[in-house]
Amino acid sequence: VLSGGGGMAWLALPETQAEELLTTWNGQLSVAAVNGPSSTVVAGQPEALDELLARCEATGVWARRIPVDYASHSPHVEEIRDTLAGELRDVTPRSGRIAFHSTVTGDALDTAELDGAYWFRN
């Protein structure tokens, strides 16, 4: 279960600057999503997020906590890999008639490829 074990925050920084800032927390935080050229979401340990948000405030970097109690799109998700694989084992994808463009690969995919492993990567 991811709930209760992490958090997320939105930073008004490019991905490279966010990654550089996160080195202070030695793996406790990671980039979870890049929403735009100057919009990066980070995820990880709640205490580390508190420290990051305080640092951002002190240095004038716009940052806001996202109201969740999990660290989606981060190494925290590895903790539920086996559980999720079990839950998704019966997913039987089929080809569709509408073009599907994957946010995982950036390419058009045949939806018959959208098995449980694909959704975990997503």
Q: Which range marks the domain in which residue 100 is found?
A: 91-121
How far apart CA 17 and CA 37 sit, in angstroms, is 11
User: Would the pLDDT of 1 be above 70?
Assistant: no
Total number of residues shown for the chain: 122
> What's the confidence (pLDDT) of residue 106?
87
The verdict on residue 30 lying in a domain is yes
Q: Are residues 97 and 73 in the same domain?
A: no
How far apart CA 105 and CA 21 sit, in angstroms, is 27
Token output for 70: 């999990």
Q: Are residues 14 and 46 in the same domain?
A: yes
The pTM for the full model equals 0.76
Percent of the chain's residues with pLDDT above 70: 99
Q: How many domains does the chain have?
A: 2
Q: Are residues 60 and 30 in the same domain?
A: yes
Contact by Cβ (8 Å): 42, 99: no
> What's the confidence (pLDDT) of residue 4?
79
Q: Are residues 64 and 96 in the same domain?
A: no
Q: Are residues 64 and 39 in the same domain?
A: yes
Least confident piece of the model among 17-21, 49-53, 73-77, 113-117 = 73-77
Q: Are residues 95 and 73 in the same domain?
A: no
Residue in 4, 15, 20 with CA at minimum distance from that of residue 79: 4
> What's the confidence (pLDDT) of residue 101?
94
Encode pLDDT of 84-115 as tens digits. Answer: 888 888 888 999 999 999 888 889 999 999 88
Q: Are residues 15 and 47 in the same domain?
A: yes
